[in-house]
Amino acid sequence: MQAKALKFDIPSDLSESRRVHQQIMAAVADGGYSEDAIFAIKLAIEEALVNAIKHGNKLDPRKRVHVEANVGPEEVEIIIEDEGPGFARCAVPDPTADENLTKCSGRGLLLMEAYMHTVEYSNNGRRVRLVRKRD
């Protein structure tokens, strides 16, 4: 397959993120990735985009979200960066702890990390790099 590179610069708007999500997933499907990989990538992108827009940029329409996706023959790489204050991964509580099980939020990072082969945070947590290798 031929590698495909996509780049987006969107406002902090969940309907815009839907469009980005759909375009990246179309490229992943064209790349012949397995159903499991598609499930994983779809979930991780959803979580990362919502994190950037809601928790990073706090839905501020003046702030942007920058997205890069590289769909290659061996792996899919997605980089998502917001313009918010950033966060420390180690400060996020473990949602699987008994005392947190009934809390309604806080599972996005756990799911991204469970379903992707690489999850790297940089720029103070504003930037996340996700990689899923071909099965």
Interface ranges with another protein (CB under 8 A):
14, 18, 35-36, 39, 42-43, 46-47, 50, 95-96, 101-108, 110-111, 114
Place of tokens 């996340």: 128
Residue number with CB closer to another protein (2 or 105): 105
Task: Output the smallest distance, CB 47 to another protein, in A.
Answer: 6
Q: Exposure pattern of 51-84 as b/e (b: 16+ CB <10 Å)?
A: bbbbbbbeeeeebbbbbbbbbeeebbbbbbbbbb
Under 8 Å CB-to-CB from 118, ≥6 apart: which residues? 129, 130, 131
Place of tokens 């599972």: 107
Task: Output the smallest distance, CB 124 to another protein, in A.
Answer: 22
Residue number with CB closer to another protein (72 or 121): 121
Contact 76, 118 (CB under 8 A): no
Residue number with CB closer to another protein (96 or 124): 96
How many Å apart are CA 38 and CA 36, to the nearest integer?
5
Task: Output the smallest distance, CB 3 to another protein, in A.
Answer: 25
Residue number with CB closer to another protein (1 or 114): 114
Task: Output the smallest distance, CB 38 to another protein, in A.
Answer: 9
